Structure 1
Amino acid sequence: MTKLNQIIAIEKSTKTKAARVLNEAGRELSKAPLLSGISRTYQPKDEEGEQLPPESTKVQRRVEEQLRDVAEALTRLFDVVATKDRTNALATADIVVDGETLVADVPVTYLLFLEKQLGELQTFVRALPVLDAAESWTFNDAADCHATDAVKTVRTKKVPRNHVKAEATEEHPAQVEVYYEDIPVGYWTTVKFSGAAPAKRVTQLAERVEKLQTAVKFAREEANGTEVVDEKVGAKVFGYLLGE
């Protein structure tokens, strides 16, 4: 009993062999001398004439022989691919997560597609922006994103002040030094907003994608264990192509 995964395993080598046989046959048949032969014998005009040995060259390649080689290799390829595609149309499995069937009777070709897409989705999820851990965040319904608590800070303004180092006298003016003093003039109230996601949420998403990836792989392996529908297409195709 042949399984689908066994047919998939030999498909690549069968394609490689068929391509090699086809290319070699084409290359050999393009060499005119290999298809040509000759046989010559010499007979002198009279008995005293010079005797020459016969000459011959054998035909080394024949079109029909090359066609048979190509047909044999391609027949196997046609049968393998037809068997795989026919069985793919029947091979299905359930995607089961945590003991529950998420999707039932999924075709194996779709499972392959889903497996690739989930790999790309996992890369996307793991790169999601995460909220700055140095801040405390809560969800703000009005802004529809996360926000920090309001932080109040003082706004100051530098105001010049005079410091009299020496009072004025009849002989000298007063010695005054100017300095600046920060005087509170108002208050800033700051709330930070962020559209990033909490680290816990990103981790949760990544774990769910990973769990689904595992479920899809299990389903694919199960579907690939389907018994094949053995197809014999090649013989029909080349029976027609090479028929007299």
Structure 2
Amino acid sequence: MAKLNQILAVEKGVKASSQRAVTDAYHAIQKAPLMSGLSRTYQPIDDEGEQLPPESTRVQVKVEQVLVDVGKALTRLFDVTATKDWANCHATAHVIVDNQVLLEDVPVTYLLFLEKQLADLHTFISKLPTLDPAESWSRDDNAEAWRADAVKTTRTKKVPRNHVLAEATDKHPAQVQVYNEDIVVGYWTKVAFSGAVPARRVNELLGRLQKLQDAVKYAREEANGYVVDDREIGAKVFGYLLG
């Protein structure tokens, strides 16, 4: 008997060694000389003739033996994978947040999916736009947005003015300089709105998400501790194929 996490720990190595064995077998059967053998002897016509030693080449690769070896290599992989997949049908755990069961009897395969999705969601939430902290914001339900304090500014208009440099005399006209003066003619009242969220809201969401991520990881570890029944599938498969 073993636990699911132990099966998962060896699965990668078993898969690699099985693939290597199959690859080696495939390359071996592509080399025709290794599967060829011969034996020949020499007999002179008469006893006075030259005697030559026999020659022989042994068959190094036999297809039937290759099939047996491949079967042995894959049998372990078939058994480990079957044990894992059968266990995945039963390995479940609760997702518990703040001592409350949020999700019941979640399969380990779904926990793995959930873990990946929550990681992506964490990246998304951390990039949410936040309100400019330099402004004072309040919620405006009518606009369904955040509203900054009103800012009042003036509107001016240039009005020409005359500046007398020298009064008129009986000999010379007055010397007058024309200039423009900015006169306040009105007031602008600007109110900024934003669809962003306060930084505290982002921090709140990230805090909740972190709790959920931790809970999913704990649940996955618990589910992976499920005691599995060893499955012997490979022997049946290759017993049929090679029998």
TM-score, structure 1 normalization:
0.98
1:25 paired residue number: 25
Instruction: Report how far residue 172 of structure 1 moved.
Output: 2.2
Does structure 1 retain, via aligned residues, the 8 Å contact 2:151–2:191?
A: yes
Residues 33-87 of structure 1: CA deviation (Å, up to 9, x unaligned) = 0001111100000111111111111111111111111101100000000100000
Instruction: Report how far residue 154 of structure 1 moved.
Output: 1.2
Percent identity over the alignment?
65
Letter of the 1:173 counterpart: P
1:120 paired residue number: 120
Q: Runs of 5+ in structure 1 lacking a partner? A: none
In 1, Cα distance between the equivalents of 2:171 and 2:233?
A: 124
In 2, Cα distance between the equivalents of 1:170 and 1:49?
A: 160
1:221 paired residue number: 221
1:161 paired residue number: 161
Q: How does 1:27-176 map to 2 (within 5 A)?
A: 27-176=27-176
Does structure 1 retain, via aligned residues, the 8 Å contact 2:35–2:62?
A: yes
Residues 146-180 of structure 1: CA deviation (Å, up to 9, x unaligned) = 00122222111111111000012233222111121
Q: How does 1:159-198 map to 2 (within 5 A)?
A: 159-198=159-198
2:16 pairs with 1:16: yes
> Equivalent residue of 2:94, what SS?
strand
In 2, Cα distance between the equivalents of 1:104 and 1:122?
A: 23
Instruction: Report how far residue 221 of structure 1 moved.
Output: 0.1
Does structure 1 retain, via aligned residues, the 8 Å contact 2:135–2:149?
A: no
In 2, Cα distance between the equivalents of 1:3 and 1:37?
A: 49
Letter of the 1:171 counterpart: K
Q: What's the C-alpha RMSD, in Å, of the aligned pairs?
A: 0.8
In 2, Cα distance between the equivalents of 1:198 and 1:144?
A: 14
Instruction: Report how far residue 25 of structure 1 moved.
Output: 0.3
Residues 133-154 of structure 1: CA deviation (Å, up to 9, x unaligned) = 0000000001001001222221
Runs of 4+ in 1 over 4 A off after TM superposition: none
In 2, Cα distance between the equivalents of 1:172 and 1:41?
A: 146
In 2, Cα distance between the equivalents of 1:170 and 1:41?
A: 151
TM-score, structure 2 normalization:
0.98
Instruction: Report how far residue 120 of structure 1 moved.
Output: 0.2
In 1, Cα distance between the equivalents of 2:19 and 2:34?
A: 21
